[in-house]
């Protein structure tokens, strides 16, 4: 990894073994972009890569009098301004006292820093040793408004990513109002890409969508106050021919949990601009003399080994250099969460009963979900009152957690700190602590309102209440929930001219509180949740190494959700549970084996009363847990390969696999949604193995006892079983293991011999 500088021409080449990123100060002093992609040879100068003609470009302003083709609307730039001839989306808009929004930031100086600096008060990827990365900081100034803009670029030694962020400081006496301050803007010379994005809804999170690029703009954004299930802050630009395992693709992911925007814009000259950062909608930030503003980080990655190569880049980085703390490198406990088992209808006895059975079957952590505090017997009351409901739990959380620990199983607890029900002590005492606009009705969602986390007194209250419980009880795990999008985003502690700061101040407040709690309780495993996956983003993963992926626990739906989530986020970060059937979200009945075979690809657990399943199912659960424990290092920390997409093949099949770092072990999962009569024999091409290793194959469903890696990659695993329409012909041992029937699945373990 290196950053080489041509001092004379002011060109900067950041590269590691696989990728190059090249930028240059252009003739008018603005920062131009020359290249991002596969590593290219270093040259003294890349001047010839600058794109402009000497001829006039019709009806297009030229930024230099003597160079008529030097048009900002064509040039590839790093952080475009508004107002001087670039009509594409700017990265920055600054309102000045004279009413102007025109800016022109030009090169001032640069600095190279060994390693990577942490962003102040924001989550970010990091290094453990300064030799893991190098950072280029370019200082630009707009002398007229007296502001310095710093663009930081980090190249990692071991990960094919470039991280970027922007920082601005007002050094003038004038008041500047930031109206837009994106994290990054990246221009491509040509537009031949498709946009891959993760869109969805509650219960249908992060479905893979592919959109075409036409002239004008494609926008993904959130204005909900969360990163949201509707539009995850991740996009990839792939070539049309790029597949899962071949071809070029670029990824962009914002390390932020609030409102965000990703725009892909093709202009009249076939230039493509990607813009990513905090959503400028309802945003402004006042900078007085000396004030600074820091953008969130964006993680950009490049792969020429297809979508899966891109995902592996993100997975490795996020597992190793985004997640933090003692749980970062540890396999996660098998948990049982009582939410779908009881909802609000429980008492201490019932909880102990569920925990006891869970322990018997091998579960390691019991999680008490919503309903243990205040007057929380339904979702209309109690939120905010973080003390035990002694009618339901006479021993309180303190006593109950000890009882559960005495059974030989850890105890975890649910909180939803950011919210309040109007019917609560907290609201009665502090009705002004919620986000609400003067003289307007507040819009409820799930009967709850959002606390103003930008307020110090609110954060102090939450810290005091939560830390007290964590200190006094035996708590090994916290589920941090957040169950509504924001409305009436207005804060009484913020000046009327600065209400555009409220969204971001909320997120900064949330991050501050999380930093404080996770630092004080380093041994506690935190799992983030927002009605399932409304905040499945790298910002939250920095504080909490796993996220409840979706409230939808139906195995069939989960295949799609987990598949989509895996485009950017690692398996170990996805909370995944086996729940009861008929499923509570879809009413679908799937075999417990398949529910397990899907959920083990995650931070695995159960969400049902194990006392209520048949003895045969209990045996299966026991075996599932044993199997998971034997294989969890491989599953949670191996490399993940998507083999068959549930979004293709008429939505009927899916398959994926994990491979250990040394490639000596792998686990393949194949899912069949609906039974297809007389479908013939199937084979499945695998990936990620060592082509020279001979692998033994442990599975009733697969033909042969061993395969070489190259056979598995190029010829594939052959499944024994034809899909008979006449079950009378079924010759396979053990019907439960058969792939015949609806919602069937199997796991195939490979070991090098
Ligand atoms: C939403 C979460 O996603 C569920 O898992 C559960 O914790 C409920 N909230 C509890 O209210």
Residue 161, SS3? strand
Q: Is 80 exceeded by the pLDDT of residue 650?
A: no
Mean pLDDT calculated for residue range 343-365 = 98
CA dihedral 246, 235, 165, 95 (to 10 degrees): 150
Substitution candidate for ligand 1 out of 229, 338, 339 with most atoms within 8 A of CB: 339
Give CA–CA dist 455/418, Å, rounded.
Answer: 12
Residue with token string 């109950």: 400
Q: CB–CB of 390/376 below 8 Å?
A: no
Q: CB–CB of 567/208 below 8 Å?
A: yes
Kindly name the residue from 160, 481, 639, 653 that is annotated as catalytic: 481
Q: Is 80 exceeded by the pLDDT of residue 309?
A: yes
Give yes or no: 481 in active site.
yes
Ligand 1 close to Cβ of residue 418 (< 6 A): no
SS (H, E, C) 5-35: EECCCCEEEEECCCEEEEEEECCCCCEEEEE
**pLDDT confidence band for 725 (50 / 70 / 90):** very low
Give CA–CA dist 585/552, Å, rounded.
Answer: 6
pLDDT tens-digit map of 207-250: 999 999 999 999 999 999 999 999 999 999 999 999 999 999 99
Q: Return the beta strands (E) in 365-506 as ranges.
A: 365-368, 410-415, 419-421, 448-450, 477-480
Substitution candidate for ligand 1 out of 337, 342, 369 with most atoms within 8 A of CB: 369
Ligand 1 close to Cβ of residue 414 (< 6 A): yes
Rama region for 661: left / alpha / beta (φ>0; ψ in -120 to 50; rest): alpha
Give CA–CA dist 500/438, Å, rounded.
Answer: 15
Q: CB–CB of 388/468 below 8 Å?
A: no
pLDDT tens-digit map of 661-680: 999 999 999 999 998 877 77
The alpha carbon of residue 687 and the mean position of all alpha carbons in its chain are separated, in whole angstroms, by 24
- Take residue 78 and report the two structure tokens written for it: 């790093």
Q: Return the beta strands (E) in 333-492 as ranges.
A: 335-337, 365-368, 410-415, 419-421, 448-450, 477-480
Mean pLDDT calculated for residue range 503-525 = 98
Q: According to the model, what pLDDT value does residue 729 have?
A: 45
**pLDDT confidence band for 731 (50 / 70 / 90):** very low
The Å distance, Cα 370 to ligand 1 centre, comes to 7
Eight-class DSSP state of 132: G
Q: Is 80 exceeded by the pLDDT of residue 633?
A: yes
Q: Is 80 exceeded by the pLDDT of residue 735?
A: no
The Å distance, Cα 481 to ligand 1 centre, comes to 7
Ligand 1 close to Cβ of residue 339 (< 6 A): yes
For atom 5 of ligand 1, the residue with the nearest CA is 551
Q: CB–CB of 306/282 below 8 Å?
A: no
Give CA–CA dist 251/578, Å, rounded.
Answer: 31
Q: Is 50 exceeded by the pLDDT of residue 13?
A: yes
Give CA–CA dist 265/385, Å, rounded.
Answer: 47
Type and span of the H or E element at 627: helix 615-637
Atom number of ligand 1 nearest to Cα 379: 11
- Take residue 552 and report the two structure tokens written for it: 């939808």
Give CA–CA dist 366/349, Å, rounded.
Answer: 14
Give CA–CA dist 370/383, Å, rounded.
Answer: 9
Ligand 1 close to Cβ of residue 338 (< 6 A): no
Q: CB–CB of 642/244 below 8 Å?
A: yes
Atom number of ligand 1 nearest to Cα 530: 3
What is the C-alpha R_g of the chain? 27
- Take residue 62 and report the two structure tokens written for it: 């030229």
Rama region for 85: left / alpha / beta (φ>0; ψ in -120 to 50; rest): left
Ligand 1 close to Cβ of residue 481 (< 6 A): yes
Residue with token string 């209400």: 499
Give yes or no: 639 in active site.
no
Mean pLDDT score of the chain:
95
CB neighbour class for 369 (10 Å; exposed up to 12, middle 13-18, buried from 19): buried
């Amino acid at each position: 990894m290196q950053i080489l500088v041509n001092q004379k021409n002011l060109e900067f080449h950041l590269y590691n073994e696989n990728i190059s990123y090249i930028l240059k100060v252009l003739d008018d002093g603005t920062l131009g972009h020359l290249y991002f992609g596969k590593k290219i040879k270093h040259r003294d100068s890349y001047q010839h890569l600058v794109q402009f003609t000497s001829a006039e470009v019709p009806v297009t302003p030229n930024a230099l009098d003597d160079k008529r083709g030097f048009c900002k609307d064509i040039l590839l730039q790093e952080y475009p301004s508004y107002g001087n001839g670039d009509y594409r989306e700017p990265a920055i808009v600054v309102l000045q006292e004279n009413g102007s929004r025109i800016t022109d930031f030009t090169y001032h100086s640069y600095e190279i820093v060994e390693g990577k600096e942490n962003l102040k008060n924001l989550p970010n990827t990091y290094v453990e040793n300064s030799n893991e990365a190098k950072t280029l900081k370019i200082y630009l100034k707009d002398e007229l408004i007296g502001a310095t803009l710093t663009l930081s670029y980090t190249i990692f030694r071991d990960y094919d990513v470039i991280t970027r962020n922007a920082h601005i400081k007002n050094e003038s006496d004038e008041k500047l109002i930031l109206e837009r301050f994106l994290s990054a803007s990246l221009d491509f010379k040509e537009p031949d890409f498709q946009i891959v994005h993760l869109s969805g809804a509650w219960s249908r999170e992060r479905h893979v969508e592919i959109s075409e690029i036409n002239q004008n703009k494609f926008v993904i954004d959130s204005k909900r106050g969360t990163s949201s299930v509707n539009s995850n802050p991740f996009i990839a630009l792939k070539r049309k021919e790029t597949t899962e395992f071949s071809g070029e693709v670029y990824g962009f992911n914002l390390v932020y949990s609030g409102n965000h925007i990703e725009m892909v814009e093709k202009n009249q000259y076939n230039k493509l601009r990607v813009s990513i950062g905090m959503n400028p909608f309802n945003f402004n930030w006042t900078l007085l003399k000396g004030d600074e503003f820091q953008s969130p980080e964006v993680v950009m990655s490049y792969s020429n080994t297809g979508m899966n190569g891109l995902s592996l880049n993100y997975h490795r980085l996020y597992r190793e250099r985004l997640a933090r703390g003692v749980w970062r490198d540890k396999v996660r406990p098998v948990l049982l969460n009582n939410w779908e088992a009881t909802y609000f209808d429980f008492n201490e006895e019932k909880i102990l009963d569920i925990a006891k059975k869970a322990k018997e079957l091998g579960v390691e952590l019991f999680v008490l979900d919503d309903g243990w505090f205040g007057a929380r017997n339904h979702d209309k009351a109690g939120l905010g009152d973080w003390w035990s409901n002694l009618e339901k739990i006479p021993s309180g959380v303190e006593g109950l957690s000890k009882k559960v620990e005495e059974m030989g199983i850890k105890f975890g607890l649910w909180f939803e700190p950011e919210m309040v029900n109007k019917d609560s002590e907290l609201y009665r005492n502090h009705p002004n602590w919620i986000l609400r606009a003067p003289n307007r009705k507040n819009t409820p969602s799930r009967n709850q309102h959002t606390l103003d986390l930008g307020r110090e007194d609110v954060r102090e209250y939450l810290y005091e209440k939560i830390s007290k419980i964590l200190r006094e009880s035996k708590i090994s795990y916290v589920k941090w929930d957040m169950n509504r999008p924001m409305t009436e985003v207005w804060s009484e502690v913020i000046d009327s001219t600065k209400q555009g700061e409220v969204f971001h101040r909320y997120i900064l407040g949330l991050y501050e509180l999380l930093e404080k709690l996770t630092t004080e309780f380093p041994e506690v495993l935190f799992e983030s949740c927002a009605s399932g996956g409304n905040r499945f983003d790298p910002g939250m993963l920095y504080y909490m190494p796993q996220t409840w992926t979706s409230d939808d626990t139906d195995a069939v739906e989960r295949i799609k959700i987990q598949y989509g989530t895996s485009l950017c986020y690692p398996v170990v970060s996805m909370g995944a549970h086996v729940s009861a059937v008929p499923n509570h979200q879809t009413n679908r009945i799937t075999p417990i084996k398949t529910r397990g075979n899907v959920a083990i690809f995650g931070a695995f657990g159960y969400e049902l009363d194990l006392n209520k399943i048949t003895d045969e199912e209990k045996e299966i659960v026991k075996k599932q847990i044993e199997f998971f424990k034997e294989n969890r290092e491989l599953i949670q920390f191996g490399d993940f390969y998507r083999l068959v997409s549930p979004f293709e093949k008429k939505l009927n099949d899916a398959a994926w696999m994990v491979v250990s770092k040394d490639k000596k072990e792998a686990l393949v999962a194949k899912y069949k949604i609906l039974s297809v009569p007389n479908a013939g024999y199937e084979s499945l091409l695998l990936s990620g193995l060592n082509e020279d290793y001979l692998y033994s194959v442990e599975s009733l469903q697969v033909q042969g006892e061993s395969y070489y890696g190259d056979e598995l990659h190029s010829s594939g695993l052959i499944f024994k079983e034809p899909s008979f329409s006449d079950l009378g012909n079924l010759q396979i041992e053990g019907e439960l293991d058969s792939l015949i029937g609806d919602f069937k699945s199997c796991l195939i373990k490979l070991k090098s011999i």
